[in-house]
Amino acid sequence: MDKLTTTQIEAELIKLNNWNLKDNLLSRVYKLNSFMDVMSFSNLVSDKSEQIDHHPKMIIDYDTIEFELSTHSVGGITVLDFELANFIEDTYDELFQSD
């Protein structure tokens, strides 16, 4: 799997809400209603991560979760990172945007 170029990353990043490029990784913070919402959300992301064998860094602080995505084996961002970011975004929209 090849590392994406800066131009490719920027083109994909435009399609995602509130995701940022920082320190050679994709990052997004979500503030939810409760710790249990964060845990439910993180479990769904964990299941998907296992399916595609690509695991994010998740930082949990009560009602907030931050995801950091990169492909360590290539030292940068790949299509897998965007696949997972899109899954995370779609899952968030499905579960929490109707509140």
Closest CA to 62 of 29, 33, 95, 93: 33
Q: Which residues make Cβ contacts (< 8 Å) with residue 78, sequence separation at least 6?
A: 1, 2, 3, 4, 71
pLDDT attached to residue 51: 96
For residue range 63-87, list pLDDT tens digits in order.
999 999 999 999 999 999 999 999 9
CATH fit for domain 6-96, picks 3.30.1360.20, 1.20.1280.50, 3.40.50.720, 3.40.50.970? 3.30.1360.20
- Tell me the pLDDT of the chain (99 aa) as tens digits: 899 999 999 999 999 989 999 999 999 999 999 999 999 999 999 999 999 999 999 999 999 999 999 999 999 999 999 999 999 999 999 999 865
Q: How many CB atoms lie within 10 A of CB 97?
A: 7
pLDDT attached to residue 17: 87
CA–CA dist 6, 3 (Å, integer)? 9
